[in-house]
Amino acid sequence: MATKVQKVMVAPINVIFKHLQSKTRVKIWLFEQVDMRIEGKIIGFDEFMNLVIDDAEEIYQKSGNVKPTHSMFLRAAVGRSQSISNTLRKMVVTTTTGITASTSPFNYPAVRRDESVLDKLHDGKTTVADPYRWLEDPDSAETKDFVKAQNELFKSYVSSSSLHDKFEKRLTEMFNYERFGCPFKRGSSYYYFFNSGLQAQSVLYKQDSLDGAPRIFFDPNTLSEDGTVSLNTYAFTEDGKYFAYGLSASGSDWVTIRVRSTADDAPEDLEPQPVEWAKFTSIAWTHDNKGFFYNRYTPPAKIPNNSDKGTETDTNKNQSVMYHAVGSGKPDLLIHMDPENSDWMFGCEVSDDGRYLLLIISRSCDPETKVYIADIGHESIAGPPKWNPIVDDFKAEYHYITNDDTVFYFQTTLDAPRKRVVKYDLARPDVGMVEVIPQTQDVIQQCRVVDQNKLIIAYLHNVKHITKMYTLPHVEPLSPQSLPLAEGSIITSMTGRKEDPAVFYQSSSFVTPGIITRFDFQTMEPAVFRTTSINGHDDTKFQVTQEWYTSTGNVQIPMYIISKKGTKLDGNNPCLLYAYGGFNIPILPSFSVTWLTFIQHMDGIVASASIRGGSEFGESWYKDGKLDKKQNCFDDFQNAAKHLVSTGWTRPGRLAINGGSNGGLLVGACANQAPDLFGCAIADVGVMDMTRFHRFTIGHAWTSDYGNPDRKEDFDVLIKYSPLHNVRSQGYPAYLLTTSDHDDRVVPLHSYKLVATLQYVAGPVSDQPIMIRIETKAGHGAGKSTKQRIEEAADKYAFMAQALKLEWQD
């Protein structure tokens, strides 16, 4: 076997060596960077080649490929070279004449490197090179040329796939189904969101009763020709007379707020000028209808015009809570700001009875909050209120549920890593927090009070929902005690307020698109209100299993696997492995027509791994995947891949990995650490530069998960897995990065710099494509039009199809 590998893979290299040896003695230089010094070492050629051939054969055997490839030899050569030096960055074949050899089959665009950009960190003791720093300027002509060239390369590549148009056509058909949101009542009218199928954005409808004729109330599709203006947030007044709505353009996090009357014959906007520069905001009306509270930031120093909101990279600090008096013409009032803690962020909500204003203070993305309460029930808003800090430390997370006069109910992690319900009486502050419902073995995900005193709690139990219902204040179980849910389903949305006698909730699963149920607390009976169906989709043809596998520390990790019924475990199935693993966010069962199209027409399977870093099993699960334990996330993901291979679901050459945002970081780190495990890697809008992420837009808030690169002890952890700084001259799986020009959450420079580095360092030794797809007029994901979502999916799955050698099945 070794002879066959040598004959197939080594011959091209030997041709190069023979040509070079005719001119001068060949040296294989191993470069090691130590304080910017380069150290060279000569090794024997024959001895080196024998070791490389043995390694290449091992790589071939593990790959599952039908035949060996040139990149296997190169990967073995680089791997064997790196074993000689601990911090080797690259290997080059060179001669005294300066001739170099490139083996990349792809014509990657020429991208300028500026080797002079060096950051001296930690009192000058640490040096970090950043040769693509210039790509951090989104407005430069050079960056725009880079975007154009990379997009042209990618489009040329995916357009050659025979599956691209078939996938896009079928996905368009699958997306073309009616989608309803849960009804909710405001004033005397009911409202719900609806999309007829291929509408760019969902439309808000209004009806006088649940069986009344619906009419369009607010249609975002009329606000732009291409459907890239979306409804980011909204709020009705308590009596339903007014509607404040926040719009985002091109997916940016910046929000523009306008106000209109809900009367059918009223003009669309009550004020000539909107509220600008809101961001990471909700809208909280006072119950007298005079105005609302919202969050804003100082406008960026340089934005050429309004359409470029979201293309800037300025850091977002000094968030403020403002009060806008509707129709007064007066400047908005500053309600709260903390310049001494410029990174802190604030949430504002008005209590159910309208008497109190709650201020929820966060210092980062960590689930730890302060809670201030102010009495605003008998005063007009004229400035900052008098705050009562009922929680003035960052020891736990608090979510307001409701209040009965001075008694407030909260969902909290205080002395309860899986959360519990507590109450606090403003009239008896000396008593403090009193337990109402203790924590259980399951994790509280949401609480809601309807019908005056009925408390609904949704728990996470092994990554699916169960519910329990009680009456307050005496915490008596209701009968029935739970809302009906199909096995494996989760509650995706729930509507109903304290004064409503019923609750609507929508449930779905990996294979069922959605059921809206109405539970009436007067009769204690559930009734199916609406069921979503898709032409051509039969959920009985699919199966969903949950398997558990072992990861680092002997921890058991659950993973859902979705496939066609009767799928053979022969190791030949194309597989897409997805995870997130961060920021206390659970990845739950979700319905995806894209995934189902892949399963149905490419004979694929989808695996969704509940790795550490999320909240699937409470606070400890989250903490085990952050800061100096972040490697657990990457280990969990790689062990998920190994489990899928060892159990026969797939093999490395048929396995693709995908994740977005923090999940993009996950893919980037794992592609560096274990390239042989995967046949394809797709990293969406990922955080890739772990030495500079905190310098752009809201990145400073992520130091709670990642650590602060300005601190040496955190930097030493980050640099070990930072995707940008761990690219090696090795074979990679087919690698696609995606980003968007208006992503002001994880700015696109992360993906720009990584793809440039990958193409430069790994491109010459990898026979798989390394590319980037850069969406225009889109952001981090929210607000994308249906057309954009379909086109993006078609491009990504066409790329994956070429990498995994997939065939279309009608």
Question: Is residue 22 annotated as a catalytic residue, yes or no?
Answer: no
**Which residue out of 643, 694, 742, 780 is catalytically annotated?**
780
Active-site residue, 19 included = no
Nearest-angstrom CA–CA distance, 627 and 364: 14
Beta strands, E only, 314-381: 320-325, 333-336, 345-350, 356-362, 369-375
Phi, psi angles (nearest 5°) of residue 148: -60, -45
Q: Please provide residue 518's backbone torsions phi and psi, each rounded to the nearest 5 degrees.
A: -110, 125
Sign of the four-CA dihedral 728, 729, 732, 734: positive
725 is catalytic: no
Q: Which residues contact 422 (CB under 8 A, 6 or more apart)?
A: 409, 410, 412, 414, 433, 434, 435, 436
The whole-angstrom separation of Cα 634 and Cα 637 is 5
Output b/e per residue, 188-201; b: 16+ Cβ within 10 A. ebbbbbebeeebbb
User: What are the residues facing 371 on neighbouring strands?
Assistant: 360, 391
Residue whose structure tokens are 């490419």: 602
CB burial readout 460-491, b (16+ within 10 A) else e? beebbbebbbbebeeeeeeeeebbebeebbbb
| C-alpha–C-alpha distance, residues 538 and 511, integer Å | 9
Answer whether 146's CB lies under 8 Å from 153's CB. Answer: no
- Residue carrying structure tokens 């002997």: 554
d(CA 660, CA 778): 15
Number of neighbouring beta carbons within 10 Å of residue 33:
14
Tokens of 761: 């360092």
Whether residue 526 is preceded by a cis peptide bond, meaning omega within 30 degrees of 0, is no
**Of these residues, 661, 722, 740, 766, which one is catalytic?**
661
Contact call for residues 367 and 397 (beta carbons, < 8 A): yes
Cβ atoms of residues 498 and 449 within 8 Å: yes
The whole-angstrom separation of Cα 403 and Cα 591 is 35
| Helix or strand run (H / E) with residue 364 | none
**Alpha carbon of 585 to those of 366, 607, 658: distances in Å?**
11, 18, 17
The rounded distance, in Å, linking the Cα atoms of 106 and 770 is 9
Instruction: Examine residue 480 and say whether the peptide bond preceding it is cis (omega within 30 degrees of 0).
Output: yes
- List the structure tokens of 591: 């319905």
The DSSP symbol for 20 reads H
Query: For 150, what's the count of Cα atoms within 13 Å in the CB-facing half-sphere?
Result: 27
Give residue for tokens 């210092």: 363
Return the SS3 of 493.
strand
Integer Rg of the chain from CA: 28
Q: Which of 743, 751, 766, 795 is catalytic?
A: 743
Alpha carbon of residue 383 to chain centroid: 37
What DSSP state is assigned to residue 35? Answer: T
CA-to-CA distance for 340 and 173, rounded, in angstroms? 54
The residue among 698, 705, 710 whose CA lies nearest residue 632 is 705
Q: Which residues are catalytic?
A: 661, 743, 780
